[in-house]
Structure 1
Amino acid sequence: MTGDAELHAAVTAVIERVGVDTTTPATTIDTGVWTALTDAGFTGVGIGEDLGGAGGQFTDALTVVSAAAGSGALTPFIEHTVLAAWLAARSGLDLGGRTATLALGGEGITARATAQGWTLDGLLPGVVHACEADVLVVHFASSVALVSRTTPGLTLYHGTDLLGASVDDVALDTVVVEHLTDSPIDSEELRLRGAVAYAVAMSACADTIIETTVRHASQRTQFGRPLSGFQAIQQRLASMAASAAHSRAAVEHAVEMAGNPDHAGTIAAAKIVVSSTAREVAAAAHQIHGAIGFTSEHHLGRFTMALLAWRDRHGDEKYWSQVLAGRELEDGIDPWDLVVDADHTPSRATPGAANL
């Protein structure tokens, strides 16, 4: 569990009351859960009340992420609350109670002033939950725009990840935007927020996988005794638990350091750890469960597919390893000092990290 225990318990209770369909791959988000979270005000957590949110800190939003992921609920909470709604609020844009998702356009999006207003052209690749969103918060260059999903000129090329969540390419052809303004947040900061949020979600899934697999190994009998009585299974379970604990420690440290101006290093480390251990944890769980764990109806697949699908969301372990190594070398730190844990103080902070 990550974050405040009472908030975590409250979110979990809401989700359990509604119920989650863990059939995998999913055909859509858990609409009932998303509606319940919205009605309870949880989708505004981490956004200041003065900005139209429910208040609370970034760590509170990550607690909701942990509870939702650990319960197996498929919702656009990270895309909406952690990223899109937060960016819109910081930019002074009102979503009007609509569900939003973040679309990173980079330099591939062009804006033009026309008689109808500002228009956008270009391609937005891999927009998560675009099908379920009412509005896209498009970040490109140093600007941010609100684009209705149903506006003329916008075309969705539908795709899904291993979990069944929509991951769509969005083509913009002279699309008139609702609002366009300068962005106070850069793309690297958005990537950091997304990376730590998915690291939290993956750690929560790993913990649920361990709990599920230990229970199965204790209840399932083979040759007259539980699977957990076999040494090979015990070793596999121990290895899984060690990987999950490693991930949990890295993630919890990243969350604890959320207010540190030089937060990027701990986020990179957390995403490296959870992404690099995802395959091992998922594979071991399926090996111990056997054939039943591969059926679409068994809830194990909801969590193992989440681990694999989210492994490269907002950067995989290779990407963040390169980022982390580059930062340390730019700081003039001897790599050997990192190996032996020599005391050192970074010479700079990552721009914008304090805004997390």
Structure 2
Amino acid sequence: MSDMLDMIIESSNRIFKDNCTKQLLDDAEDGNFAIDLWNIIAESGLSSIALPENKGGAGGDFIDAFNILKLAGKYGLPLPLAETLIAKWLGTELGFTFSNEPVTFSIQKDDNISFKMTGDGYSIAGEAKDVPWASAAKHILLLGKSNEKDVIAFVPLDNAKIIKGKNLAAEPRDHVIFPNILANGLSLREVNCIDISEKSIHLLALAKSAMIAGAAEKVLALSLFYANERQQFGRSLHRFQSIQQHIAVLTGETTACLTAANSAIYALQGGRYEKEIPLAKMKLSESAGVIAMAAHQLHGAIGMTYEHMLHHMTRRLWSWRDEAGNEAYWGKKLTKLIMKDKDSSLWEILTNDKQFTKVEE
């Protein structure tokens, strides 16, 4: 945690609160990229947080960055902030440099991307599916193979064919096709495919966890406001026992989300994540469904209308629940790690800071 965390949170909260209006979210769903807001975010340094200043970053650490992403989730930020940060973190470690433009990444070991040297550059062939925000990005951090070696490159998307898609929250999830496009001056970095793909999905899982926690806070706030404002049979809704039960569920699950997300964020900053991030994503994904259900039951029909803000948040909860691995995915992964540890009891594994050995799929 940097010394300026409170100031960073205050500044980020002000930017998101002032700009992430219902109209902005509606416009984003119609395919309008919020370039003015992106420029504000980039100029403030939020899109390069947790990167060293001597490498073009804004400084800070993972605690700063994921607290910003928590706020992004709270206000439903319709921009690729998480994807840009993760691409920059991974790419900077490999020696790539970045501008302030939005970028994305596709680091999946199952993708069939090939780089073939041709003259001054490389011919790129293959497809990457469900790439977040590819239609809004200028470059993509891309995992592939060259001469039977696993490599990563920072690839321009100018000549790629992009088939636009969306998740349930209407955020871009695109199919990117590279039909033997030529990229001159491309630089490749040899990597370990397993290590880089595992690191990327863990970072993305924590990003989604932080964003779910933020969205849960917003859903709780919307629900409390509605329960206090709405009158039924001469009484405020919050005076009815069934409504109080929904509020209790929302409050408990939101608190659990924040606790799990914060625990994983601090663990990552301390150099640990093999156990903490899977546990957090499992909890946050499970809670996302519970929170969305309770909020819609509390709001009734009005919460289903497009004019209300609630659906923008609950559709994000449902989308982020499945992205970067749902609770079943991380449960299986965590089970493999636990079963491989022959020297510790389950209690020791859950309560100690002991780290696991990587398990290949």
Q: Could you say whether these structures have the same fold, taking a TM-score greater than 0.5 normalized by the shorter chain as the test?
A: yes
SS in 2 for 1:162: coil
1:34-53 map, 5 Å: 34-53=38-57
CA pair 224-265 structure 1, distance change in 2 beyond 3 A: same
Give 1:210's match in structure 2, choosing from 184, 208, 220.
Answer: 220
Give 1:98's match in structure 2, choosing from 98, 101, 105.
Answer: 101
Q: State whether residues 293 and 301 of structure 1, in contact with CA within 8 Å, keep that contact through their aligned partners in structure 2.
A: yes
Q: State whether residues 116 and 176 of structure 1, in contact with CA within 8 Å, keep that contact through their aligned partners in structure 2.
A: no
Amino acid at match of 1:67: L
CA distance in 2, matches of 1:40, 1:329: 45
Offset of 1:205 from its aligned partner?
0.3
Q: State whether residues 46 and 57 of structure 1, in contact with CA within 8 Å, keep that contact through their aligned partners in structure 2.
A: yes
Give me the identity figure in percent.
24
Amino acid at match of 2:35: T
Moved more, 164-173 or 19-28: 19-28
CA distance in 1, matches of 2:233, 2:113: 62
Amino acid at match of 2:187: H
What is the aligned partner in structure 2 of residue 309 from structure 1?
319
SS in 2 for 1:297: coil
CA distance in 2, matches of 1:258, 1:343: 16
1:1-356 map, 5 Å: 4-20=5-21, 21-23=24-26, 26-28=29-31, 29-81=33-85, 83-107=86-110, 108-140=112-144, 142-151=150-159, 154-177=160-183, 178-183=186-191, 186-332=196-342, 337-338=346-347, 346=354, 348=356, 350=358
Offset of 1:96 from its aligned partner?
3.5
What is the RMSD computed on CA atoms of the aligned residues?
Answer: 2.3
CA distance in 2, matches of 1:309, 1:8: 25
CA distance in 2, matches of 1:326, 1:272: 15
Offset of 1:347 from its aligned partner?
6.4
- Count residues in correspondence: 344
Offset of 1:22 from its aligned partner?
3.4
CA pair 96-127 structure 1, distance change in 2 beyond 3 A: same
Structure 2 gaps of 5+ residues are: none
| Superimposed CA distance per residue, residues 181-214 of structure 1 (whole angstroms, 9 cap, x where no aligned partner) | 2247611011111111110000110011011101
CA pair 25-228 structure 1, distance change in 2 beyond 3 A: farther
CA distance in 1, matches of 2:51, 2:249: 38
Q: State whether residues 25 and 162 of structure 1, in contact with CA within 8 Å, keep that contact through their aligned partners in structure 2.
A: no
Structure 1 gaps of 5+ residues are: 352-356
CA pair 343-305 structure 1, distance change in 2 beyond 3 A: closer
Q: State whether residues 247 and 274 of structure 1, in contact with CA within 8 Å, keep that contact through their aligned partners in structure 2.
A: yes
CA distance in 2, matches of 1:118, 1:25: 34
Amino acid at match of 1:166: P
Offset of 1:144 from its aligned partner?
1.1
CA distance in 2, matches of 1:189, 1:268: 12
SS in 1 for 2:128: strand
Offset of 1:341 from its aligned partner?
8.1
CA pair 5-166 structure 1, distance change in 2 beyond 3 A: same
Q: State whether residues 107 and 197 of structure 2, in contact with CA within 8 Å, keep that contact through their aligned partners in structure 1.
A: yes
Q: TM-score, normalised by structure 2?
A: 0.89
CA distance in 2, matches of 1:312, 1:135: 25
| Superimposed CA distance per residue, residues 259-312 of structure 1 (whole angstroms, 9 cap, x where no aligned partner) | 334322110000000101111111111111122211222111111111001111
CA distance in 1, matches of 2:355, 2:265: 22
Q: TM-score, normalised by structure 1?
A: 0.90
CA pair 127-341 structure 1, distance change in 2 beyond 3 A: closer
CA pair 24-221 structure 1, distance change in 2 beyond 3 A: farther
Q: State whether residues 121 and 173 of structure 1, in contact with CA within 8 Å, keep that contact through their aligned partners in structure 2.
A: yes
Q: State whether residues 275 and 356 of structure 2, in contact with CA within 8 Å, keep that contact through their aligned partners in structure 1.
A: no
